[in-house]
Amino acid sequence: MTREELIARLKGYEWTDFECKKAQRSVPRDAYPTVSAFANTQGGWLLFGVSEVNGQLQVSGVDADAFDRVQNDFLSALRSGQKLNQVISAEPHVYELDGKRILVFHIPELPRYQKPVYLKGDPRETYIRRAASDERITDAELQRFLRDNAMRPWDAETVAEISIDRCFDEETIQWYRQLFYRRDPEQRQIEDALEFLREWNFIVEQEGSMLPTRAGVLLFGTDHAVRQLLPRPILDYQRIDTRFDQWSSDERWHDRMVFEENIFKTWRELVAKYRRLAEHPFSLDPATLRRNDDPPDYVSFREAAINLLIHQDYGDHFRKPVIKFFTDRTIFWNPGDAFYTESELLDPTEKEVRNPSIVKAFRRIGMSDQAGSGIRAIFRNWRGLGNVPPEIHNDKSRKSFEIVLLKQPLLTDRQKEFLQTVGANLNAEEADVFAFAAEKGVVNLTDIRALTSATTAQAKALAGRLTHQRLLVAVSEDTFELAPAMKQRYGHDLPVHPDTPEVTPEVTPEVTPEVTPEVTPEVRLLTVLKGEMSRQQLKVALALRDDEHFRKAYLLPALEAALIEMTIPDKPRSSKQKYRLTHKGKQYLEQNQ
């Protein structure tokens, strides 16, 4: 974190990965729950020498004569393994602001096999980071961490209470064997179904008995055996014939199917249902002259659905995966988070998975290609259709994973017209990134990778070229904003970042229209704010994706203008925080509607 980024964050209200403690002369006891929470979720920054006064963060500083002691005591506690069950390697930084010194520590997220991180030798003293607060874990959440912590995967364990003589579905095994040998005809042919399953470790010998594994039952089991092992559906499919922002969870779906059979049966029935609903344009493969009638978005659907089936936490018996088809998007929600960041998921590298036996079973018949390729295939196909990149929500605290396929064009007519007026020489990838930034106001390296299939280094180079042409400006190492002059020309409603330098783009003078925004972000916020709403509810109502963009462009200006207020003003970073209109905000709406 740079000094400029620190200053910008201190001006904020709520941060998921940012926590401040006064720590004037000693390490506060509540620093350690924050360490546990950061280590268990996505990491974060812990500041000593910053206090909260009337809902505002103020630099109080760590006393000079106690500075070294506070730093050493904290680092020693993290490394000793006594306060916490794991050794934490925190990266310390020292900054001086307003003549006062503060300590900044970066607490990394730990690997899944080192979680949960807890206090006092008691797993019940495990904390997770949710919104801007540290929350003690529930029993159900603790069990999710412990399943992911196990060195032996859950799907490889045997099931003693289900007999192999009556737990497998012969038709499913026959279907699988045909695909298996068609893909790899050199494999030794095994006619007996149970012997085939034993060959591939879906049946194993244990203490003289032949037992099915959990993966074997879930993949090939009879309906009864699957329900005996998993007392909740494999998948809940819902079709909702309306836009996402016009639907309430109180409303009924238009079509629904709950799948309680084995994974392969579920997959086959799901594909059949999808094909009945999807469009089937006719085309010919120019190389083979064979008909190709797969729907254009089939690749994205296939990879997202397979991702849901093979990576979910099947040990979680309380939450079920859901696919929701809206008219403007499709949402794939799964119990069980990914062990990697969104940026890492876009890397073409071998990745650790939750259910290796299930993943291998799909891969052996060509339904799950090279490790790590599924997410990239989704992004590549969706981009090829001209849509904005899919959204990934990998919630480490709730241990859930969501992919959202937005049916929204990347380039609108407005963006295309704007690109023609810029006067810069942009290739196709640069134009896509610049158009995305023009619409959103901000773009980061992960966005660029999602838009272009670039590596991190290539994404940095591309952002550098746009910055050099004065179309973007860097606000941090991995985040870039639309240049101020571009914001003005695009009629953007984003405020200029306080640390953003004013630059003039290299464009043709005669195509520089003056555009004045008609509605500011804070006014848009007022129009969607009904009663009391959380940050997430407001973002959904505004159809916004980027949390940082929402906070800086919409939330903070509305708070600073006293148009809205917090429902819990004395705890601005509370996870239960909501917002409502002030008297001034209500008056403004009445006068301008």
Domain locations in the chain as residue ranges: 3-149, 154-229, 235-406, 413-511, 521-592
Q: Over 60: is that where the pLDDT of 280 sits?
A: yes
Rounded mean pLDDT, 136-141: 92
Neighbours of 29 (CB within 10 A): 10
pLDDT above 60 for 289: no
* CATH 3.20.110.10 corresponds to the domain 3-149: no
Tally of helices (H runs) and strands (E runs) in the chain: 23, 21
% of the chain exceeding 70 in pLDDT: 88
Query: Residues near 229 by Cβ (< 8 Å), separated by ≥ 6?
Result: 159, 162, 214, 217, 218, 221
441-480: pLDDT as tens digits: 889 899 999 898 888 899 999 999 999 998 999 887 888 9
Please give the Cα distance from 54 to 61 (Å, whole number). Answer: 18
Q: Which residues touch 146 (CB under 8 Å, ≥6 apart)?
A: 116, 123
* CA pair distance 410, 161, nearest whole angstrom: 52
Q: 320 to each of 237, 249, 277, 400, 410, how far by Cα in Å?
A: 11, 16, 23, 11, 32
Domain 521-592 class in CATH: mainly alpha
* Fold of the domain spanning 413-511: Arc Repressor Mutant, subunit A (1.10.10)
CB atoms within 10 A of CB 433: 25
Q: Please state, in angstroms and rounded to a whole number, the distance separating the CA atoms of residues 536 and 339.
A: 24
The pLDDT of residue 553: 78
pLDDT band at 306 (very low <50, low <70, confident <90, very high): very high
The answer to whether residues 335 and 321 touch, using CB atoms and an 8 Å cutoff, is yes
Record the pTM: 0.75
Instruction: DSSP for 79-113, please give it.
Output: HHSSSBSS----EEEEEEETTEEEEEEEEPPPPGG
The count of other CB atoms within 10 Å of the CB of residue 440 is 19
What pLDDT score does 14 carry? 53
Give the model confidence (pLDDT) of 344-361 as tens digits.
888 877 788 899 999 999
Give the number of other Cβ atoms within 10 Å of residue 406's Cβ. Answer: 20
Q: Which residue has the higher pLDDT, 331 or 345?
A: 331
Residues 169-186, mean pLDDT to the nearest whole number: 93
Find the mean pLDDT for residues 256-272. 95
The answer to whether 3-149 and 235-406 have equal CATH topology is no
pLDDT band at 107 (very low <50, low <70, confident <90, very high): very high
- Position 5 pLDDT exceeds 80: no
CA end-to-end span of the chain: 43
Which of 511, 513, 487, 491 has its CA nearest to residue 500? 487
| pLDDT tens digits, 225-237 | 999 999 999 999 9
Q: Quick one: CATH architecture of 235-406?
A: 2-Layer Sandwich (3.30)
pLDDT tens string 389-437:
999 999 998 999 999 999 988 888 888 888 888 778 888 899 899 988 8
- Pick from 169, 322, 301: which is nearest to 258 by CA? 322
Where helices occur in 244-297 by DSSP H, the ranges are: 263-277
Residue 438 scores a pLDDT above 90? no
* Mean pLDDT score, 54-76: 89
- Is the peptide bond between 572 and the residue preceding it cis, with omega within 30 degrees of 0? no
For the segment 562-589, what is each residue's pLDDT rounded down to a tens digit?
Answer: 889 888 877 777 778 889 999 888 888 7
Give pLDDT tens digits for 482-508: 888 888 777 644 344 444 444 444 443
The residues that bridge with 322 in the sheet, in sequence order, are: 236, 333
| H or E stretch covering 46 | strand 44-48
Query: Is pLDDT above 60 for 516?
Result: no
